[in-house]
Structure 1
Amino acid sequence: MKEGENVDTYFARTLIIANKMKIHGENMQPVVIIEKIMRSMTLRFNYVVCSVEESNNLDTFTIDELQSSLLVHEQRMNGHGGYEQALKVTYDDRIGGRRGG
C-alpha cells in the first residue's frame, strides 16, 4: 500500500493483480491474498491488522470482511482528523448546594 492511498484503491489494485495471477494458472487461495494484503498495509493500519489477526480465523475470514474492517477504521481515522478532543469538566460548588453557613 502506498502512503496516502485509500483502502478501496489499494484493494482494487491488489485484486486486479490477484485475478491476473489466477488467469495465468497461479492457485491463489483467499487466505494467501488476505495475508499478503495485511502484510503490505501502511503503519497507520498496524493496530487494525493485529486486531484482525487476533480476533478472526484467517482460514474462514473473507477478503470482503477484511476490506470492510479496514474501511471502517480508515473512515474513523479520517473523520477524527488525526487528533482527539477531551471534554473539559468544571465543578462549581454553588450549583446544587448551599454555600456558607
Structure 2
Amino acid sequence: MTPEQRTEVKELKFKDLKAKNYLFQAIDISILETILCKETSKHIWDSMKTKYQGSTKAKRQQLQSLCSEFETLRMKERESASDYMGRVMTIVNQLRINGDKTADVTVVEKILRSMTSKYDFVVCAIEEANDLDEITLDELESSLRVHEKKFIKHTNEGEQALKATTDGASNRDRGRGRGRGQGRGNSPYQNQE
C-alpha cells in the first residue's frame, strides 16, 4: 500500500469508529449488548434496521394486517368523534410508517362512511358543504367536534326536560288515590235501581 492509501484507510477507520461511538451512545444498554460483536458501523446499522424495521416479508404482513384493520374499522356506539378519529389516525400513521401511501381523502371518506347512524345528518352536511378532495383531516375533526358538542347539549337539555316532566307528573299522581275512592256502587255510571 502506498502512504496515501494507508492514510485514507486510517481516516476511514477513524470515521467508522466515530459512527460506532454515536450509535453506541444512542442505543439502549439492553440492545447494545446484542450488537457489540459487530465490527463496523455498517454492520451495526444493518442489524438495527433489520431488528426494528423487520424484513420485507414481515413489513408486508404488517401492512396487510393494518390495511385489514383499517377496512373493518367502525365507530362504536358510545364513542366520541375525537376518540374515533384518534383510533383511525393511529392506524393510518402505522400504515404510513410501513410504507403505505394512503391519501387523506381516503381517510376522510372512510371516517364519514363508518360513523354511527346518529351522525348521518352531519355526514350529509359535511359532504354537501365541502369538496372531500379538499377537506383536511383537521377540518373534519373540528367539524365533527362542533356537531358532537351540539349533540351533548341537546341530549342534556332533553334529559333535563324529561326529568322535569316526569317529576311534575309523579307529583300530580301522588295526589290521586288519596282520600275516598270510587268504590262499588258509587260510580255515577252504574244504573241505580
1:21 equivalent to 2:95? Answer yes
Tell me what 2:112 maps to.
38
- What is the Cα deviation at residue 25 of structure 1? 1.2
Secondary structure of the residue aligned to 1:81 is: helix
Secondary structure of the residue aligned to 1:60 is: coil
Match of 1:5 among 79, 82, 86: 79
| AA at the equivalent of 1:24 | N
Tell me what 2:54 maps to.
none
- What is the Cα deviation at residue 75 of structure 1? 0.5
Report the TM-score when normalising by structure 2. 0.42
| AA at the equivalent of 2:114 | S
Q: Whose relative contact order is higher, 1 or 2, with alpha carbons under 8 Å and at least 6 apart?
A: 1
Provide, for residues 37-73 of structure 1, a one-character-per-residue CA deviation record: whole Å limited to 9, x for no partner. 0001000000000011111111110011111111111
The unaligned stretches of length 5 or more in structure 1 are 86-101
| AA at the equivalent of 2:116 | T
1:65 equivalent to 2:124? Answer no
Please report the RMSD computed on the Cα atoms of aligned residues, expressed in angstroms.
1.5
* Higher Rg: 2
- What is the Cα deviation at residue 26 of structure 1? 1.0
Mapped to 2, the partners of 1:53 and 1:81 lie a distance apart of 24
- What is the Cα deviation at residue 80 of structure 1? 1.3
| AA at the equivalent of 1:36 | K
- What is the Cα deviation at residue 24 of structure 1? 1.1
| AA at the equivalent of 1:60 | E
Mapped to 1, the partners of 2:99 and 2:81 lie a distance apart of 27
Structure-to-structure mapping, 1:76-87, within 5 angstroms? 76-81=150-155, 83=158
Structure holding more helix per residue: 2
Question: Structure 1 vs Structure 2: percent identity of aligned residues?
Answer: 45
Match of 2:129 among 55, 71, 82: 55
| AA at the equivalent of 2:90 | I
- Number of corresponding residues: 85
